[in-house]
Amino acid sequence: MSENVRELSFSGAVQEALAVAMENDPRVFLMGEDIGVYGGAFQVTGDLVHRFGEDRVMDTPISELGGAGVAVGAAVAGARPVYEFQFSDFASLAMEQIVNQAAKMRFMLGGKVSVPVVFRMPCGSGTGAAAQHSQSLEAWFGHVPGLKVVEAATPEDAKGLLLAAIEDPDPVLVFEHKLLYKIKGHVPEGHYTTPIGKALVRRQGKDATVVAAAIMVHKALEAAEVLAGEGIDIEVIDLRTIRPIDTATIIESVKKTTRLACVYEGVKTLGIGAEISALIAESEAFDYLDAPIMRLGGAESPIPYSPILEKAAVPQTDDIVAGLRNLVKGRI
Amino acid sequence: MAAKSATKSVEQGRNLRPFYANHTPEQLKEALRRMWLVRRFEEMAEESYIRGLTHGTMHLSIGQEASAVGICLELTDKDYITSTHRGHGHCIGKGAEVKYMFAEFFGKEEGYCRGRGGSMHIADPATGNLGANGIVGGGLPLATGAALAIKKRGSKDVAVCFFGDGANNEGAFHESLNIAAVWKLPVIYVCENNQYGMSVSTERSTAVKDVATRAAAYNMPGVIVDGNSIADVNEAMTAAMERARNGEGPTLIECKTYRTRGHSRSDRNRYRSKEEIESWKGKDPIPAFEDELMALGILTQADVEGVRAGVEKDIQDGFDFATKGTNPEPSSLLRGVYTTGDAA
């Protein structure tokens, strides 16, 4: 019983995944800025340097292109590096190595190498860190064949997806929404993986499907609770993997509920919601739709500093409630 | 190729410079053979292009063969290299077979990259060749990372990063050399300074006269060699290898050289004079090496001619092999995008 309710924070779950991976596989090591004695900008690596030593928890210079690229090179040469970007925004400094090298190397070389590198990507707004430290860039990387992109909503999946990413033979970007680091939840002990490429229905419902990831899953679940009081029954899908996307689960759900809302923090235009909308429009689920597809995404602006504006820049629970109410009752 | 053995080296006691004293006649002959292979491979590749047998582009290293072969002479299959868009020489220097290179050129399944890479991505991971790279400076972090993996497994191997003068102005150069020096990684940075980044001379692009002087900023040795002398190149490499294997960290070797062909197929040579090109053709590293080998009595004229004839046969056989290769099936397009789910 007590084992079943063991709770960890999201960041604690990530740290536990890193520890389990390093215990199980001597090839696994961590690289990043201030991940050693400092413990990481968000205290995710914490005291791992004391448990595993500086050779496996390596502080890098402030040098994202070099650090990320060294991780890619080490992966090709047989190591299992996990590179932490202090903020996922800084991956823009390392795009060359992620997009041109890591993503394409196996393909360009005729399938003769694998690039088992993991990039940890703390992302998202809500911390008052303004425009260069708050972005949600999952869709950028999801656009690149050769990369895999995952994003957990719960501590349990944070651990399971990260372990799956580290054991995966291909490059995986693991997005971690910063506002989730402190949430707590059940986390199984020891080793387990959450499969990459599988979404999860977090809440069953019959009136509309919400597809969301990371923090938006929580907001969607809150919205669903509010709407349940009004007799509206919402199904919430936790995407968990952005690439490769689990089309089957989404199509199945939309056929049942006949309505679709895509809720995501990244900028609305050309974002994750565009892809999900399109895949439904192209699928047999299209004929089941009783309302136009709805997208609730980030504003067409950089993330502002002012807390009032910052909230206005990404979908909040109230926005989701209003949107879904309209989706279910407003039309048809 | 490596594994020089002092026992059978060119006779001792003749006051030969280390390059000749420390390699066997067989090793030196093989080095000459590889230089010719690079030259003839590229000439044949150029001809194939002109005849319409290949598409895309290619970057020829004709005139730069001494640095590719002189560096790789010391490497085994366990040592890594990363290469550049001008990488045919590095590939052959590292031991690649020209028939699979031609096949790659012609976009065939038999090619090193099954026709997916082409000239700019030829690689042979099985022999430590992590590939040519289409991004200027792209290989710098990769070689540095391969060196980190070597250090972590505690072996005495090294990683070599070939790059051009153009790459030394990329941020990846600064970041990679700094990390390698801080972590004392067994990596050797080989700058083949052929004096032009596409059309812009180093004089117009680079604030220092010699790329090697930038090594001082990373607290590592910066060595300038005549890149058209295989002996000069190899002796600098030997010292850098020793330093890397002793755990002392990286070295930057700058090979001063010249490409006598244009940057790529689109180049009309408007940025340099015919006289300049002709003067460098007079410093061709291959005949210079042949002359030295014969002057030292290491090879005879007949030996040299034998090497050239052998190369001609390899080139012709390789070309024939490649032209008979298999075209990829369109249905196989997605193979190699991911490891998971890949049908080997």
The domain spans of chain B are: 6-261+274-326
* C-beta atoms of B117 and A108 within 8 A: yes
DSSP state of A219: H
Average pLDDT over residues B110-129: 95
For B23-40, b/e burial (b = at least 16 CB within 10 A) is bbbebbbbbbbbbbbbbb
Given a contact cutoff of 8 angstroms between Cβ atoms, the answer to whether A238 and A332 are in contact is: no
Interface membership of A71 toward B (CB under 8 Å)? yes
Q: How confident is the model at residue B75 (pLDDT cuts 50, 70, 90)?
A: very high
Q: How confident is the model at residue A134 (pLDDT cuts 50, 70, 90)?
A: very high
Catalytic residue flag (residue A143): no
Identity of the residue numbered A215: I
Given a contact cutoff of 8 angstroms between Cβ atoms, the answer to whether B30 and B1 are in contact is: yes
A229 CA: distance to closest CA in chain B (Å): 44
Backbone angles phi, psi at A49, to 5 degrees: -65, -30
User: Mutate which of A27, A83, A101 to disrupt the B interface (most B C-beta within 10 Å)?
Assistant: A101
pLDDT for A330 equals 78
Q: Is the peptide bond before B285 cis (omega within 30 degrees of 0)?
A: no
**CATH of the structural domain A7-186, one choice from 3.30.70.141, 3.40.50.1820, 1.10.3210.10, 3.40.50.970:** 3.40.50.970
Active-site residue identified among A64, A167, A176, A235: A64
* C-beta atoms of A79 and B152 within 8 A: yes
What length does chain A have?
A: 332
pLDDT for B11 equals 57
| Alpha carbons B150 and B80: distance in angstroms, whole number | 9
Interface membership of B176 toward A (CB under 8 Å)? yes
DSSP state of B233: H
Whether A275 has a pLDDT exceeding 50, the answer reads: yes
* C-beta atoms of A76 and B145 within 8 A: yes
Residues of B in contact with A98 (CB under 8 A): none
3-state secondary structure of B207: coil
| Alpha carbons B145 and B135: distance in angstroms, whole number | 17
Given a contact cutoff of 8 angstroms between Cβ atoms, the answer to whether B94 and B76 are in contact is: no
Active-site residue identified among A84, A133, A138, A177: A133
3-state secondary structure of A267: strand
Q: How confident is the model at residue B6 (pLDDT cuts 50, 70, 90)?
A: very low
Higher pLDDT, B3 or B129: B129
Residues of B in contact with A73 (CB under 8 A): 82, 130, 141-149, 159
**Burial (0-12, 13-18, 19+ Cβ within 10 Å), B132:** buried
* C-beta atoms of A145 and B337 within 8 A: yes
E-strand stretches of chain B: 80-82, 159-164, 187-193, 196-197, 200-201, 222-226, 251-256
Q: Which of residues 5-64 of B touch A (CB under 8 A)?
A: none
Catalytic residue flag (residue A64): yes
* C-beta atoms of A69 and B339 within 8 A: no
Partners of A243 in the beta sheet?
A149
Residues of A in contact with B142 (CB under 8 A): 69, 72-73, 76, 97, 101
Average pLDDT over residues A143-148: 98
- Domain boundary assignment for chain A: 7-186, 200-330
E-strand stretches of A85-233: 118-123, 148-151, 172-177, 184-186, 200-203, 208-212
* C-beta atoms of B142 and A69 within 8 A: yes
**Burial (0-12, 13-18, 19+ Cβ within 10 Å), B3:** exposed
What length does chain B have?
A: 344
B79 CA: distance to closest CA in chain A (Å): 10
Fold of B6-261+274-326: Rossmann fold (3.40.50)
Q: What is the pLDDT of residues B38-55, one digit of tens each?
A: 999 999 999 999 998 888
Q: How confident is the model at residue B266 (pLDDT cuts 50, 70, 90)?
A: confident
Q: What is the pLDDT of residues A237-250, one digit of tens each?
A: 999 999 999 999 99
Partners of B129 in the beta sheet?
B81, B124
pLDDT for A48 equals 98
Given a contact cutoff of 8 angstroms between Cβ atoms, the answer to whether B2 and B76 are in contact is: yes
Backbone angles phi, psi at B256, to 5 degrees: -80, 120
Residue A61 is nearest to which of B138, B148, B179, comparing CB atoms?
Answer: B179
A200-330 has CATH 3.40.50.920 classification: yes
Tell me the torsion sign for CA atoms B180, B181, B184, B188. Answer: positive
Residues of A in contact with B130 (CB under 8 A): 73, 76-77, 113
Interface membership of B138 toward A (CB under 8 Å)? yes
Whether B344 has a pLDDT exceeding 50, the answer reads: no
| Alpha carbons A224 and A220: distance in angstroms, whole number | 6
Token pair belonging to A40: 């990481």
3-state secondary structure of B339: coil
* C-beta atoms of A97 and B134 within 8 A: no
* C-beta atoms of A66 and B340 within 8 A: no
* C-beta atoms of B138 and A169 within 8 A: no
Q: Which residue of A has its CA nearest to B177?
A: A66
pLDDT for A43 equals 97
Q: Is the peptide bond before A244 cis (omega within 30 degrees of 0)?
A: yes
Q: Mean pLDDT score of chain A, rounded to an integer? A: 97
**Burial (0-12, 13-18, 19+ Cβ within 10 Å), B325:** buried
Q: What is the pLDDT of residues A189-199, one digit of tens each?
A: 999 999 999 99
Whether B7 has a pLDDT exceeding 50, the answer reads: no
Given a contact cutoff of 8 angstroms between Cβ atoms, the answer to whether A236 and A210 are in contact is: yes
Given a contact cutoff of 8 angstroms between Cβ atoms, the answer to whether B123 and B130 are in contact is: yes
Backbone angles phi, psi at A196, to 5 degrees: -75, 135
Whether B5 has a pLDDT exceeding 90, the answer reads: no
Interface membership of A107 toward B (CB under 8 Å)? yes
A63 CA: distance to closest CA in chain B (Å): 6
Identity of the residue numbered B114: R
